[in-house]
Amino acid sequence: HQSTLLMCDIDHFKRVNDTYGHSAGDLVIQQIADAVRKTLRATDIAGRYGGEEYAILLVETNLEQAAHLAERLRKSVEQLSIKYNSQILKVTLSIGLAEHNKDMTSYRQWLEAADKALYRSKAGGRNRVTCYSPLD
């Protein structure tokens, strides 16, 4: 059975904290966590991985299926209008995906592959989904 790992990062999160304060940043994290919860299936596992990063494990899910789910999540976050005091905050998510394969001898390699794909999403302009390729 194939499984795919998603690494997600809130774009320009530091700017939210610096502009509106940490309570606004906390609200953004909570709203994105709700979007993640609504998008995932009961068998998927999600958690925060560092400050504004999320790791999501999609079990028995190949890369193509995972890319569709990741795109749904990206769109749902992009459509959020987070009300903080009298402000409406708009945020986006960069997502990197890596399907586990037989050449990966450790979970660290799998994590690094998803992280490379995430970096390519951010370098490519943010607010996008990028799939890891062993050719990267």
Number of other CB atoms surrounding residue 69 within 10 Å: 21
Distance between CA atoms of residues 112 and 118, nearest Å: 10
- Annotated active-site residue 52? The verdict is yes
Q: Are 92 and 127 in contact (CB under 8 A)?
A: yes
Closest by CA position to 67, among listed 4, 25, 112: 4
Q: Which residue among 52, 60, 64, 112 is the active-site one?
A: 52
- Long-range contacts of residues 71-74, Cβ cutoff 8 Å, at least 24 apart: 71/129, 72/39, 73/8, 73/35, 73/36, 73/39, 74/127, 74/128, 74/129
Residue 117: both structure tokens together:
């794909």
Cite the active site residues: 52
